[in-house]
Structure 1
Amino acid sequence: MTDPAITWVCLTEIAPEEIAAHMSDPRVAEHLPLLTLPFDRSAAEAFVAAKEACWRRDGLGHWAFLREGAYVGWGGFQKEGDEWDFGLVLRPDCFGLGLPIARKALAFARQDPRIPFVTFLLPPSRRHLGALSRLGAAPVGQVELAGATFLKFRLETS
């Protein structure tokens, strides 16, 4: 079941200051080993530009997620080699929305013929992985990315 109050928009529709505040929260940074701090307005603008470049390059990328019109976080699909990785980074007060947002995004992926499966890369600091299991994702091992270790999961979408 998906939450009809959850929508998504282009990251460019969110004020850079709001993204910077979100990404500067230590509870968010705790599980993002590739995040460099400080994450200020300039970093937020560079981040959004990089995510928009993915859209131009791959025809798919990241969105800003809203619940009842309010920004709750960002995420989406990014090409990692030949695979589509799904990432989701929520504001701490919205962590409980991860499963409904992921379900809605995965429903989108199931309709896209470019995406036969989705991967998820999570830092080993993430201890609660039951949501991935409930989604049907299976562990496939560990990978190194930019000097950090991640747990890798895979979910068939077709």
Structure 2
Amino acid sequence: MDLQFKRLSEISSADIIDLNNNPVVLRHMPLGRPDFDQAKCSAWVAEKESQWMLNGYGPWAFMVDQKFAGWGGLQQTEGDADLALVLHPDYWGLGKAIYDEIVRRAFQEMGLESVTVLLAPTRTRIKGILRVGFQPDGEVNVDGTRFVRYRLLASTRA
């Protein structure tokens, strides 16, 4: 498998629109809506790209064997570097490898002290994130939607 991290601005809008409107993907994105069109995509990519300038980190596009597999990375949320990972269902089996690389970059290259993940309160299958070291860390509200926050500390990562 050839995994590459690219900037979202390098990816076809059609590919991003298809992923962000995929009904299976949307079931896991509480803030997602099935009306993600070209205008929304352009604004969304611009906002995601601006995070690199503002925070020194932001989301990437993931390419697997030269094909767009999804997007994710670190986004500023409530003062934290929040980890997002949105993959096309065809690539769900690669989530752990992509996650490992995001976390490696966050702690080893960027020197972050922690990263968070935000999950909907209805998400009860959380053993996977607990197993890799995330711990519950309160709740946050993003755009009117409540999330449970989990935090992974660099100091607890082996």
Unaligned runs of 5+ in 1: none
Partner of 2:92: 95
How many residues get paired? 155
Decide whether the 8 Å contact of 1:85 with 1:121 is kept in 2. yes
3-state DSSP of counterpart to 1:126: coil
Unaligned runs of 5+ in 2: none
Distance 1:25 1:93 in 2: 12
- 1:142 maps to which of 136, 139, 142: 139
Residue identity matched to 1:130: K
Distance 1:5 1:128 in 2: 29
- 2:27 maps to which of 27, 30, 36: 30
3-state DSSP of counterpart to 1:128: coil
State TM-score, norm by structure 1.
Answer: 0.89
* Residue 13 of structure 2 corresponds to residue 5 of structure 1: no
Decide whether the 8 Å contact of 1:115 with 1:157 is kept in 2. yes
Residue identity matched to 1:141: G
State TM-score, norm by structure 2.
Answer: 0.89
Task: Give the deviation of 1:125 after TM superposition.
Answer: 3.7
Identical pairs, percent:
35
Tell me the C-alpha RMSD between the 2 structures.
1.6
Task: Give the deviation of 1:92 after TM superposition.
Answer: 1.7
Partner of 1:51: 48
Residue identity matched to 1:25: N
Q: Map of 1:7-156 to 2, 5 A cutoff?
A: 7-112=4-109, 114-156=111-153
Residue identity matched to 2:42: E
Decide whether the 8 Å contact of 1:27 with 1:92 is kept in 2. yes
Task: Give the deviation of 1:114 after TM superposition.
Answer: 4.4
